[in-house]
Amino acid sequence: MNLFNIIFQESANIIDLAGIYYILSHKHTNSINLNERILSVGLSWGFYESLATNFFPFLIGGKSLEFSLKYIYRSISANTFLFSNLSKTCLLFMWMKNTSGKTKINAVNSLLVYFTFILPLVNRIILIKEESFRSDIFIQLLFEFALTFILSIITKFIFSSQLNVSHEHKNATYSDDEIYQVNKDLKKKDKKKKKN
């Protein structure tokens, strides 16, 4: 399998973004708390991706008599992609809500590119020789997991700061309905004063 085929196969990860975008923007999920919505979408997407890519090969290959390290490699990859899917969900939500600040926009876009394209491509390249018993594969996967974990924490901090900014902005501005209600109440008070 050459590098072009791997890149072409991993470019299908844009479908993941489209699916997560559709679920996050779906009207029925707006009634759920924001943190619960992001957590449920990210975990369920990660679970089904792990089920499709790792569980069925493990179930079929696990019945063989000989043990292979490739199943341990794949379990490390599955945990890495679980963090990746949670981070992708947070980042896509922030991207949908148009994060404020040029630095945050650049950070969100670059992290989204990492979690969507770079991470799966690097993981696929590392696991090309998963049949061999080499310690460098194990070390590379652990490094990839640690890097993804650190970038997931950075994503959480960006998401938390974005929530704080949006709450401050929400408290500082009034919606049209609130202004209409205040004007309506003032008119009622004026009518009561005129009657008295």
Distances (CA, A) of 48 to 96, 179, 180: 23, 45, 46
Amino acid at 1: M
For range 70-91, the mean pLDDT:
85
Residue 156 has pLDDT above 50, yes or no: yes
The more confidently predicted of residues 99 and 74 is 74
Where does residue 6 rank: exposed (0-12), middle (13-18), buried (19+ CB within 10 A)? middle
What is residue 127's predicted lDDT score, i.e. its pLDDT? Answer: 80
H/E stretch holding 14: helix 14-25
pLDDT at 150 over 90: yes
CA distance 58 to 55: 5
* Helical ranges in 51-134 per DSSP H: 56-61, 70-96, 102-113, 119-126
Tally the C-alpha atoms within 13 A of residue 155's C-alpha that lie toward its C-beta. Answer: 28
In the predicted structure, residue 149 carries a pLDDT above the cut 50? yes
- Per the structure block, which two tokens stand in for 165? 């900014």
Instruction: Please give the residue range of the domain that contains residue 97.
Output: 3-195
pLDDT band, very low/low/confident/very high, at 183 (cuts 50, 70, 90): low
Q: Among 8-17, 152-161, 165-174, where is mean pLDDT lowest?
A: 165-174
As a whole number of angstroms, the distance between CA 152 and CA 87 comes to 6
How far apart, in whole angstroms, are the C-alpha atoms of residue 36 and residue 39? 5
| pTM score, whole prediction | 0.68
> Structural domain tally of the chain?
1
**Mean pLDDT within 95-124:** 81
Token pair listed for 196 = 């008295």
The three-point CA angle 39-17-143 to 5° equals: 70
Where does the pLDDT of residue 174 fall: very low under 50, low under 70, confident under 90, or very high at 90 and above? Answer: very low
State the residue for tokens 């938390």. 160
Question: What is the mean predicted confidence (pLDDT) over 10-32?
Answer: 73
Which of 21-25, 41-45, 77-81: highest mean pLDDT?
77-81
| Average pLDDT, integer, range 163-176 | 53
Give mean pLDDT, residues 71-81: 83
